[in-house]
Amino acid sequence: MNSKNWLDKVKWDANGLVPVIVQQELSNDVLMFAWMNREALLKTLELERAVYFSRSRNKLWFKGEVSGHLQYVREVRLDCDQDVVLLKIEQISNIACHTGRHSCFFWKFKGSLDRGNWVSVDPVLKDPENIYL
């Protein structure tokens, strides 16, 4: 029996990817959304650190490799349809977003349907110019 049959449970898309929601373990804050291929999921479980697949660079992306904002994986879940992965992580430095914010979900819709707008509601914790030198 193949020891990696559990990987076949995941419903990978036509490009061999699965969406990943990243949630901070203790606060349950949703920090970011990313993609994984089989190799990224395997590396994530092997290293107990978040490893994603960068579609723009077409390669594995070891979260925090450049920024230092590592994500230590505490739990991995698969949704009921088996087509979305949830990572519960410990976020190092409390910054998950490349903009220097805690979460990538910092735009909030405010106003009415005809006069609404997206407003940034979370502060920049560290200037991105000082993160990616």
Residue 52 maps to which CATH number?
Answer: 3.10.20.810
Element (H, E) at 18: strand 18-24
Rounded Cα gap, residues 24 and 71, in angstroms? 9
User: Which range of residues forms the domain containing residue 91?
Assistant: 5-131
pLDDT number for residue 1: 44
Provide the whole-model pTM. Answer: 0.90
Q: How many domains does the chain have?
A: 1
- pLDDT at residue 51 in the model: 98
List pLDDT tens digits, range 40-98: 999 999 999 999 999 999 999 999 998 999 999 999 999 999 999 999 999 999 999 99
Res. 132: pLDDT tops 90: no
pLDDT tens readout for residues 10-29: 999 999 999 999 999 999 99
> Do the bridges between strand 71-78 and strand 85-91 make them parallel or antiparallel, or are there none, so unpaired?
antiparallel
Read off the pLDDT band of 133 (50, 70, 90).
low
